[in-house]
C-alpha cells in the first residue's frame, strides 16, 4: 500500500476526538527517523549566565552533607509541597491554604507587581511551597512558568517576588532524518522533535507544502540545542533546513547581519525565502479535496466544479492570511458559511470559507499581514465536516493555487552576500555526510555511542 493510501485509511478509521492527536502526529512524522545527535567539531557552547541564586550552604567546622538544593533552598530544612495550579485557582486561594493572611497577600501582590503580575498565574504550571513550620504559615511560594525561569515569593520578611532565570547552555547540533511511517507512534510523545519539526516547517513554509509528506523524503537540520544543568530543554535558533523530495531539494538558511537590520531565512543564493504567499492557510491539516473542475459534490450529490482546495482540520484551528492584503469581505452566505476574502494586489485575491468564527477585528477595510490569524476552522455553510475551503483568485478567476509559480525574490544586498556565502558554506559542510539512519525508538534523540554515528 502506498503512503497516500495508508494516510487515507488511517483517516477513515479516526474518530473526531482523535483528530487533534492525529494532526499533531502528522506534523511530527516529519521528524521520524530523526537520528544523528551529531556534535560537530565547531560546535560551540554559548553560556549566557543571567543570574543565579547563591546556594545556601551552612559552613561548619565539621564535614557536613551538602544539602539537596531546589530553587537555591536546602530542601531538607523545609517542608516542601509541589503542586500544579488548578484551573480557576488564584494566588490568594493557594496562599490562604498555607496560613498566609489576606493582608500579607495584598502586600505581596502590591510589592511584586513590577516583577510579576499575579493574574499571569496559569493553570497546569508548577508551584512549590517551602515551610519551616506549617502552623506559622509558609515561608516561600515559588512559581515556575517554564524551565527557563521561576519566581520566588518571600512570604515572611520582604513580602515580595524575585525573578530568577536559569543559565541556558546551547550547542549547535546537526541532525538528519527521513520520513518513516512506521515510527509515527514512536514519535508522538517526543516533544523535542515536535519543536524542531515546527521550526523546520516555519523555515520552509514558503517553498514546501507539508501536506504532501512522502515516504523517503529526507531532511537535514542545524539548530541550537538548549540545555539547563545538562538537561535538554528545547530548541533555539534553527540555522539551516534542507528538505529533499525525490529530485527536488530545498534549503532555508538563517542569516542575520551584525546590526540586526537584516534577518531571516534565505535560499542558497541569498534570496529571501519569504514569498508573497504562504503555501497553505492552515498548519497541521490535510488536503481533503483538491481543485477539481469535475468533482462530485458530497452534499449536493451531483457533479459540480470545486474551485478551491479543502484543508480538513479540527474545529477552532487558526486560519492564516496567506499574504498581505486588505479584507474586502467578512460575511456569511448559505453556501460559503462564514468567509473572508482578501485583496492582495491588482491581480490576486484569496478567500477562506466555512469558518467557525472570524478573528477579532477582522472586517472589510482592515489590512492584514501574511501569517496573521483571520479566523478559525469550522463547518458553517455547505460543509460535511470542519475544514477551510481555500480559494485563490487571479484576475477575477478562481485558479488552482497549488499550480501557481511566483517570481523569485531579490537577493541580499551586495555588501551582505559574501558574509552570507561564507556562513552558508560552513553550514553545508556541517551537514555533509550526515545521512538519515533508520533507528529504533530508543535511539531517537539519544546520543548514539561513538562508532555508531553516521552511516551504519
Ligand atoms: Zn472546498
Give a yes or no: residue 1 inside a domain: no
Evaluate whether residue 339 is within a structural domain.
yes
pLDDT at residue 390 greater than cutoff 80: yes
Stretch 421-432: mean pLDDT: 95
Cα–Cα distance measured from residue 285 to residue 2, given in angstroms and rounded to the nearest whole number? 20
Ligand 1 midpoint to CA 179 (Å) = 29
DSSP letter for each residue of 379-439: --SS-SSSEEEEEEEETTEEE-GGG---PPPPB--TTTHHHHHHHHHHHHHHHTT------
Give the integer Cα–Cα distance in Å for 452 and 145.
Answer: 38
Distance 146 CA to ligand 1 centre (A): 41
What is the whole-number distance in angstroms between the Cα of residue 389 and the centre of ligand 1? 4
Contact between 190 and 33 (Cβ < 8 Å): no
- Residue 260 Cα to ligand 1 midpoint, Å, equals 42
- In angstroms, what is the span from residue 305 Cα to ligand 1's centroid? 10
Quick one: 100 and 138 in the same domain? yes
- pLDDT of 376 > 60? The answer is yes
Question: Is residue 372 very low, low, confident or very high in pLDDT (cuts 50, 70, 90)?
Answer: very high
Domain count, the chain: 3
CA 304 to ligand 1 center in whole angstroms: 11
Same domain, yes or no, for 181 and 263? yes
CA of 406 to the centre of ligand 1 (A): 23
How far, in Å, from the CA of 370 to the mean position of ligand 1?
A: 22
Confirm whether 451 is domain-assigned. Answer: no
Please indicate, yes or no, whether residues 298 and 367 belong to a single structural domain of this protein: yes
Quick check: is 160 in a domain? yes
**Same domain flag for 303 and 328:** yes
203 & 261 share domain: yes
Least confident of 3-12, 138-147, 254-263, 343-352: 3-12
Q: Are residues 130 and 177 in the same domain?
A: no
In a shared domain, residues 183 and 255: yes
CATH classification at residue 324: 2.70.70.10
Q: Ligand 1 centre from 407 Cα, in Å?
A: 27
User: Could you tell me the distance, in angstroms and rounded to a whole number, from the CA of residue 401 to the centre of ligand 1?
Assistant: 13
Q: Which among 165, 183, 206 is the end of a domain?
A: 165
DSSP helix, strand, coil percent of the chain (3-state; round to 5): 20, 35, 45
Asked if residue 348 and residue 311 are part of one domain, the reply reads: yes
- 210 in the same domain as 161: no
CA 19/CA 319 separation, integer angstroms? 17
Q: What is the DSSP letter of 156?
A: S
CA–centroid distance, residue 302 to ligand 1 (Å)? 15
- Ligand 1 center to residue 376 CA distance, Å? 15
- pLDDT interval class at 168 (50, 70, 90): very high
382 alpha carbon – ligand 1 mean position (Å): 9
141 neighbors 150 (Cβ within 8 angstroms): no
- Answer whether residue 362 is part of any domain: yes
CA of 8 to the centre of ligand 1 (A): 18
Answer whether residue 450 is part of any domain: no
User: Ligand 1 centroid to 387 CA: how many Å?
Assistant: 8
Predicted TM-score (pTM) of the model is: 0.61
Average pLDDT over all residues of the chain:
79
pLDDT, residue 437, reads 60
Q: Please give the distance, rounded to the nearest whole angstrom, from the Cα atom of residue 327 to the centre of ligand 1.
A: 20
Considering 241-250, 272-281, 424-433, the range whose residues carry the highest mean pLDDT is 424-433
How many A from CA of 294 to the centre of ligand 1? 13
What is the whole-number distance in angstroms between the Cα of residue 306 and the centre of ligand 1? Answer: 6
Could you tell me which residue, 449 or 62, shows the higher pLDDT? 62
Q: How confident is the model at residue 145 (pLDDT cuts 50, 70, 90)?
A: very high
378 C-alpha vs ligand 1 centroid, how far in Å? 12
Q: Do 190 and 260 fall into the same domain? A: yes
Predicted local confidence at residue 59, as pLDDT: 44
306: in domain:
yes
pLDDT digits (tens, 9 = 90+) for 59-114: 444 555 566 888 988 888 899 999 999 999 999 999 999 999 999 999 999 999 99
Ligand 1: centre distance to CA 353 (Å) = 8
Count the neighbouring beta carbons within 10 Å of the beta carbon of residue 335: 13
Mean per-residue pLDDT, 377-385: 94
Q: Which three cell numbers stand for residue 246?
A: 525525490
User: 33-65 pLDDT, tens per residue?
Assistant: 333 333 332 222 222 222 233 334 344 445 555
Q: How far is the CA of 390 from the centre of ligand 1 (A)?
A: 7
Kindly give the distance from the C-alpha atom of residue 380 to the centroid of ligand 1, in angstroms, as a whole number: 12
- Going by pLDDT thresholds of 50, 70 and 90, the confidence category of residue 273 is confident
Residue 61 DSSP class: S
Measure 371 CA to ligand 1 centroid, in angstroms: 21
Question: Does 299 lie in the same domain as 243?
Answer: no
SS3 215: coil
Cβ distance 286 to 312 under 8 Å? Answer: yes
| CA dist., res. 354 & res. 338, Å (int) | 5
Q: Residue 351 C-alpha to ligand 1 middle, in angstroms?
A: 11
How close is the Cα of 2 to the center of ligand 1, in Å? Answer: 25
Nearest to 425, CA basis, from 271, 296, 240: 240
**Where does a domain end: 165, 200, 228?**
165
* 289 C-alpha to ligand 1 centroid (Å): 7
Give the distance (Å) from ligand 1 centre to CA of residue 339. 12
The CATH code of the domain that includes 267 is: 3.10.450.350
Last residue of a domain, one of 139, 165, 191: 165
How close is the Cα of 309 to the center of ligand 1, in Å?
Answer: 6
Domain span at residue 351 reads 286-403
Q: Give 111: exposed, middle or buried? Use CB within 10 Å, 0-12, 13-18, 19+.
A: middle
Alpha-carbon distance of 270 to 80, in angstroms, equals 55
CA distance 321 to 329: 13
In a domain, 454, yes or no: no
What separation in Å is there between the alpha carbon of 361 and the centre of ligand 1? Answer: 25
Check pLDDT > 90 for residue 379.
yes
Residue 205 half-sphere exposure toward CB, CA atoms < 13 A: 22
- pLDDT on residue 63: 52
According to the model, what pLDDT value does residue 229 have? Answer: 87
Q: pLDDT higher for 62 or 324?
A: 324
Q: Ligand 1 centroid vs 312 CA: distance in angstroms?
A: 10
34 and 180 in one domain?
Answer: yes
Distance 291 CA to ligand 1 centre (A): 8
The angle, 0 to 180 degrees and rounded to 10, between the axes of the packed helices 191-204 and 19-28 is 70
Alpha carbon distance 308, 419 (integer Å): 43
Amino acid at each position: 500500500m502506498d503512503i497516500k493510501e495508508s494516510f487515507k485509511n488511517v483517516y477513515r478509521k479516526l474518530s473526531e476526538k482523535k483528530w487533534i492527536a492525529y494532526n499533531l502526529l502528522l506534523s511530527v512524522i516529519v521528524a521520524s527517523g530523526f537520528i544523528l545527535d551529531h556534535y560537530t567539531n565547531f560546535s560551540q557552547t554559548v553560556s549566557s549566565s543571567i543570574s543565579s541564586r547563591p546556594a545556601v550552604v551552612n559552613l561548619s567546622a565539621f564535614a557536613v552533607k551538602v544539602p539537596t538544593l531546589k530553587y537555591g533552598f536546602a530542601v531538607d530544612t523545609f517542608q516542601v509541597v509541589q503542586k500544579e495550579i488548578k484551573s480557576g485557582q488564584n494566588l490568594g486561594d493557594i496562599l490562604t491554604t498555607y496560613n498566609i493572611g489576606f493582608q500579607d497577600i495584598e502586600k505581596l501582590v502590591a510589592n511584586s507587581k513590577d516583577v510579576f503580575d499575579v493574574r499571569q498565574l496559569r493553570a497546569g504550571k508548577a508551584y512549590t511551597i517551602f515551610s519551616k513550620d506549617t502552623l506559622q504559615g509558609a515561608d516561600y511560594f515559588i512559581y515556575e512558568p517554564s524551565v527557563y525561569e521561576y519566581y520566588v515569593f518571600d512570604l515572611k520578611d520582604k513580602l515580595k517576588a524575585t525573578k530568577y532565570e536559569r543559565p541556558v547552555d546551547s550547542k549547535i547540533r546537526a541532525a538528519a532524518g527521513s520520513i518513516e511511517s512506521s515510527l509515527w507512534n514512536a514519535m508522538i510523545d517526543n516533544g523535542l522533535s515536535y519543536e524542531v519539526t515546527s521550526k523546520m516547517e516555519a523555515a520552509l513554509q514558503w517553498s514546501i507544502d507539508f501536506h504532501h509528506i512522502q515516504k523517503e523524503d529526507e531532511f537535514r537540520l542545524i539548530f541550537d540545542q538548549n540545555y539547563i544543568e545538562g538537561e535538554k530543554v528545547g530548541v533555539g535558533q534553527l540555522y539551516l533546513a534542507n528538505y529533499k523530495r525525490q529530485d527536488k531539494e530545498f534549503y532555508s538558511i538563517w542569516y542575520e547581519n551584525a546590526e540586526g537590520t537584516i534577518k531571516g531565512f534565505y535560499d542558497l543564493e541569498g534570496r529571501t525565502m519569504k514569498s508573497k504567499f504562504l503555501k497553505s492557510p492552515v498548519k497541521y491539516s490535510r488536503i481533503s479535496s483538491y481543485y477539481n473542475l469535475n468533482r462530485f459534490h458530497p452534499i449536493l450529490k451531483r457533479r459540480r466544479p470545486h474551485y478551491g482546495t479543502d484543508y480538513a482540520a479540527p474545529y477552532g484551528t487558526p486560519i492564516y492570511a496567506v499574504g498581505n492584503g486588505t479584507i474586502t469581505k467578512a460575511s456569511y452566505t448559505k453556501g460559503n458559511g462564514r468567509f473572508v476574502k482578501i485583496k492582495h494586489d491588482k491581480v490576486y485575491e484569496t478567500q477562506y470559507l466555512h469558518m467557525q468564527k472570524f478573528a477579532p477585528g477582522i472586517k472589510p477595510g482592515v489590512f492584514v499581514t501574511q501569517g496573521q490569524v483571520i479566523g478559525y476552522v469550522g463547518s458553517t455553510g455547505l460543509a460535511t465536516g470542519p475544514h477551510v475551503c481555500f480559494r485563490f483568485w487571479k484576475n477575477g478567476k478562481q485558479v488552482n493555487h497549488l499550480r501557481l509559480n511566483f517570481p523569485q525574490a531579490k537577493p541580499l544586498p551586495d555588501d551582505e552576500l559574501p558574509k552570507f556565502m561564507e556562513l552558508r558554506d560552513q553550514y553545508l559542510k556541517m551537514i555533509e555526510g550526515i545521512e538519515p539512519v533508520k533507528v529504533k525508538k530508543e535511539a531517537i534523540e539519544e546520543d548514539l555511542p561513538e562508532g555508531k554515528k553516521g552511516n551504519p
